[in-house]
Amino acid sequence: MENFTLFAQLTSFLLVLIAGVLLKRSVRMMDDAQEVLSRTETHVHETMDALKTKANVTPKVKLDTVTDAVDLSAMSIEKIHKTISDTSFDLIRSVKPAQKPTEAIHKAHDITAKGVYRSIRKVNRLVGDLSKSLQNEKPKPTPNPSDKDPDATSSD
């Protein structure tokens, strides 16, 4: 019975130690995610300020700035998502029987998430390109009343 008590105490100690290490790592990863979020927020504010203060900025430049902001935001959110999911999968993976299935699920999750964020950025660029091409289309010329056909009869 004494051996079992010692084993239980050692196991408890090891579990507390592992939990502490994982908690410390999670805090560090959350700090990293907070830093990425802060940089994203700064970029968005700078972009908005640039759009507000530059009254004579062409629509094309505004469109490029917005497209870039969406692109950078998607990349930043993807990094935050990956940090959070890595932390979650690491915690689950720490349970021995769950290691192998967790690795496969984690890999599938990462591939899916990466594809989703890649699609968001691609659609953003396509919409930006389409908007630019629509802005570059010249309007159809409206006929000038003084350019009437000389052979046409006038009711004047």
- Cα–chain-centroid distance for residue 132? 22
For residues 90 and 131, give the distance between their C-alpha atoms in angstroms, rounded to a whole number.
43
Which pLDDT value is given to residue 113? 92
Which pLDDT value is given to residue 52? 62
How does pLDDT run across 97-122, given as a tens digit for each residue? 888 899 999 999 999 999 999 999 89
Model confidence pTM above 0.85: no
Domain boundaries, the chain: 15-135
Which pLDDT value is given to residue 156? 44
CA distances to 45, 49, 71, 91, 109 from 53, in Å: 12, 6, 22, 47, 42
> Do 87 and 24 form a contact (C-beta atoms < 8 A)?
no
CA distances to 21, 87, 101 from 24, in Å: 5, 11, 25
CA distances to 30, 111, 112, 119, 130 from 116, in Å: 22, 9, 6, 5, 21
Which pLDDT value is given to residue 119? 92
> Which one-letter amino acid corresponds to residue 116?
V
> Do 80 and 33 form a contact (C-beta atoms < 8 A)?
yes
24: left (phi over 0), alpha (psi -120 to 50) or beta: alpha
* pLDDT < 70 positions in the chain: 1, 40, 43-44, 46-63, 137-156
